[in-house]
């Protein structure tokens, strides 16, 4: 099971710039802040900015190194695959179509409460008819690791850049997505 942005694809999303556009302090959790806005006009305006930002990212997305090859290998070995993302459905669909990502089971924030809430992984486990404890959720950010822990799944951090600071919260850490093949049982 995979996160989308920063794990399978590089959408070139600059969250510092997004916070600037929204007038929020750098590092503000975007969706949490959006839901905390009490003024409907402010919430609508922020929602529009966030949606435009996500759609622009989806249009320019490219594969993360090794991601396409990993998904091909997993398909050949008949491993179940799914995506759980904090993105909205339309941006996720656009990205998946443009890159022809071979994953049909996709859960977005439009389908379940956003990560780090565990509901999305529970939905995936139900859809795959697997115990959630058998899922390995791969992501690049703290919310991904927290989601897996909250759901009762295992987590894997795809480490690069400065996200290594989250390694202590992951069950596994890989520096190359193809290393995941070594973690999986033979099929």
Q: What is the pLDDT of residue 183?
A: 87
- 99-104, long-range: CB within 8 Å, 24+ apart, which pairs? 99/9, 99/61, 99/62, 99/63, 99/68, 101/8, 101/9, 101/71, 102/71, 102/72, 102/75, 103/2, 103/71
Query: In terms of pTM, does the model score above 0.75?
Result: yes
C-alpha 114/C-alpha 92 separation (Å) is 14
C-alpha 104/C-alpha 119 separation (Å) is 18
C-alpha 132/C-alpha 48 separation (Å) is 34
59-91 pLDDT per residue, tens: 999 999 999 999 999 999 999 999 999 999 999
114-171 pLDDT per residue, tens: 999 999 999 999 999 999 999 999 999 999 999 999 999 999 999 999 999 999 999 9
What is the rounded average pLDDT of the residues 26-54?
A: 92
Residues in the chain, overall count: 187
C-alpha 143/C-alpha 181 separation (Å) is 23
Segments making up each domain of the chain, as ranges: 15-60, 63-183
What is the rounded average pLDDT of the residues 48-59?
A: 95
Top CATH class, 63-183: alpha beta
């Amino acid at each position: 099971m995979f996160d989308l942005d920063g794990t399978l694809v590089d959408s070139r999303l600059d969250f510092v710039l997004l916070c600037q556009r929204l007038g929020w302090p750098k590092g503000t959790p975007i969706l949490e802040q959006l839901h905390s806005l009490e003024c409907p006009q402010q919430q609508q305006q922020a929602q529009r900015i966030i949606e435009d930002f996500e759609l622009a990212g989806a249009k320019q997305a490219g594969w993360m190194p090794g991601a396409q090859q990993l998904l091909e290998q997993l398909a050949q070995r008949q491993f179940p695959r799914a995506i759980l993302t904090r993105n909205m459905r339309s941006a996720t669909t656009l990205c998946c179509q443009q890159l022809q990502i071979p994953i049909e089971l996709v859960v977005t924030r439009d389908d379940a409460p956003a990560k780090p809430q565990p509901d999305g992984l529970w939905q995936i486990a139900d859809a795959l008819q697997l115990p959630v404890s058998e899922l390995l959720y791969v992501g690049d950010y703290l919310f991904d690791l927290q989601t897996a822990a909250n759901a009762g799944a295992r987590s894997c951090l795809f480490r690069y850049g400065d996200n290594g600071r989250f390694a202590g919260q992951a069950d596994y850490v890989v520096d190359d997505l193809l290393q995941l093949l070594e973690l999986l049982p033979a099929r």
